[in-house]
Each structure stands twice: as structure tokens, then as C-alpha cells.
Amino acid sequence: MTQFIQLHALVSYPPSNLNRDDLGRPKTAIMGGVNRLRISSQSLKRAWRTSELFESALGEHKGIRTKRIGIEIKNALITQGVEEKNAFEWAALMAACFGKVKTKKDKEGGEPLEIEQLVHIAPEEQRLIDVLVTKLAAEKRAPEETELTLLRQKPKAVDIALFGRMLASRSDCNVEAAAQVAHAITVHAVKVDDDYFTAVDDLNKHDEDAGAAHIGETGFASGVFYLYVCINKTLLCENLQNDSELVSKTLTAFIESMTKVSPTGKQNSFASRAYTSYLLAEKGPQQPRSLSVAFLRPVHGNDILDEAIKILNKQYEHFDNVYGKCADDRKSCLVTTEKSEGSLSEIIDFLTAGEPCSNT
């Protein structure tokens, strides 16, 4: 039976612009008839998987997402003594394993040897590339067709296992994501404000020339966000070849990153880093459900965080009353101005405990 992990977090961000729209303003969404701040799931996932915390815990098991693999292969071949013309042709053949290759610069600025779509390349696939590059350079020849099998159907890469991989030309090597991440939204209504700012030229010493050397404005807002994540633990085990130890390390790094790592947008301007203030963890085979419905009615009051925690807990109790228990077990931790309860390490132990992958 499929085992699910569900994480419900409340995070309070000060004035910030963590995730911008096409106009450079904070992303928003209408929910419950009012405007909310929003942080896209793409922004959150990238912040977590590229964080130092995630890298230090799982660096050797992380892949890389790029269009430039053909360019990197060509440069590696040239470094090992292959003529540029041959390096280009051989790199194109190897890069074609991962997608359609551009042979010349296009109007959008795409470089020759780029592939047309971003592809996530696993560490073992990168090792196969490196070995083949060295072999071709040493033997001074083009790759044979039998050597152009660089993709793996079940790569043992934690970021691919969590967030999936889609290859239009090689659907047999697609990987279904084990983690589903919702767009984070504020639990209350928000108005986006504008910060008007100027910059002064440090070398401008004359009063008659005094004034701004640059004028600009940027949107910002603050809020308490609700964030929901659902992890299919059974699928995560399958994606990581039933390596129980690696699954445990992956869950630990993912949960730590989720609770401690903020998106990087405009951090130099706002220093809006934040830890999770409240985390509710659930596990079991029951059908997952978000608790975002708790905030259809915007939260009001002088202590929005405390009120949001109460509403969130009341919402899962209501679901349990109507549908039966929606999780085998739950554990939470919180940090507010008034109190602190539980710990992140307890939640990690709670979620990583249990039978090994083969028996999940």
C-alpha cells in the first residue's frame, strides 16, 4: 500500500520580493475573494535543491539540470586533445542522447550544441559521459552507436527522484516525481507596496551636480505563508532503487531545506530569510489532502501566526470527523513569540522511522 508523507508549514516573511512576476513585482493569487502573496512551487523547489544544506547532505547523489551538456562535452574533448571540428561533431552525437541538439545559434540566443529543452542529468549518466569522452579522445575516433546509451531509466539521483524528469524524445527514461509541492500563499489578504529608491554617485563631489545617479522602484510585501508538500514515500523508494539509507538521507535533507531555506529573490535588498514557525507532519496510506481550505476566509487579528496555527489544527480535526482519520499519525513543532514546542529532529525521526523500502 502506498505510503504518503504530508507536510504543512506556516512561514512568516518580513517585507520581501522572493518570487517576481514578469513585471518584477511579487507574485500574487486570488483566493477566497482576496489578493494573496504567492511563491511558486518552481521557486521553492529550486531554492531547496540548490541550497548548501541540500548539497552538503546529498551532493554526490545530485544531478544537474542544463541545456549545455553538448557544449560541456565539446570543451572536455578539446581539453583532451581532440580537434575542434571533431569535438563538435562527436559532442553533438552524445548530446543527442538527451534531446534535440541545436546546430547553430538561433534567434532566441541559443548556442550551437545546446539541446532544446532543459534536461536533468544524473550523476551516473555524467560519469558515463566522462568515461566515453576520455575513451574517444584516447582512441581518436567518433562514438559508435552502441556507445550512445547514456541515459538510465532509473537514475539514482535524489533531485530527479523527488522532482521528476521529463524527456520528450525518450519517454522510457522519464521519472515520475515523488514530491508534490504546492504554491505557497499567504493566509491573509495582502496589498503589494512600492519601494521608491535612489542611488548616488560616490564620485560626484559637487553640490551643483548633486542628485540621484539612479532612480527606481520595486514591489514588496510581507505575510504568513501556508506551504503544503506531499511526498509519495513508496515512489521515492522505487525511484532510488529501494536504497533505504539514501531515502532516509533524502527525506532528512529535504525536510531541513524546506523548513530553513528561503527563495533567493531580492535577498540582498530585503534580507528576508525565515525559518518555518509551525510544521505539521503526517504519514500513512490515506489519500492526501491539502489544508489550504482552512484559509479561504482570510485570517485577521493582531497575532496572525497564532490564529493561523489554531485554524490549521481545527481544519484537520474537521476532516477527520467527516472522513475518518486522514493520517495514521501526526507530529508537530512550533516557534512563536510566546512559546516553542517539539523539535525538527523529532519530526525527521518520526518520518524516517519504519520498515525499510522493500517493505514500505
Instruction: Render pLDDT for 70-101 as a digit per residue (tens, 0 to 9).
Output: 999 999 999 999 999 999 999 999 999 999 99
Query: Looking at residue 199, what is its pLDDT?
Result: 86
Q: Would the pLDDT of 210 be above 80?
A: no
C-alpha neighbours within 13 Å on the C-beta side of residue 64:
11
Q: Would the pLDDT of 360 be above 60?
A: no
Q: Which of 328, 174, 177, 162 is nearest to 246 (CA)?
A: 162
Predicted confidence band of residue 208 (pLDDT cuts 50, 70, 90):
low
> Which secondary-structure segment (H or E) carries 141?
none
CA dist., res. 85 & res. 166, Å (int): 31
Any alpha helices (H) in the chain, and if so which ranges? Answer: 41-49, 52-58, 69-79, 84-95, 123-139, 158-163, 233-239, 244-260, 267-270, 304-323, 344-352
275-304 per-position pLDDT tens digit: 999 999 999 999 999 999 999 999 998 899
Q: Which of 256, 115, 235 is nearest to 164 (CA)?
A: 235
Query: Looking at residue 128, what is its pLDDT?
Result: 97
CA dist., res. 108 & res. 87, Å (int): 24
In this prediction, what percent of the chain has a pLDDT beyond 70?
96
Q: Would the pLDDT of 196 be above 80?
A: yes
Q: Would the pLDDT of 108 be above 70?
A: no
Quickly tell me which residue has 538527451 as its cell. Answer: 98
Predicted confidence band of residue 212 (pLDDT cuts 50, 70, 90):
confident
Q: 234-258 b/e with 16+ CB inside 10 Å = b?
A: bbbbbbbeebbebbbbbbbbbbbbb
Residue 43 has φ and ψ, to the nearest 5°, of -65, -45
| First-to-final CA distance of the chain | 8
Q: Would the pLDDT of 359 be above 60?
A: no
Average pLDDT score, the chain: 93
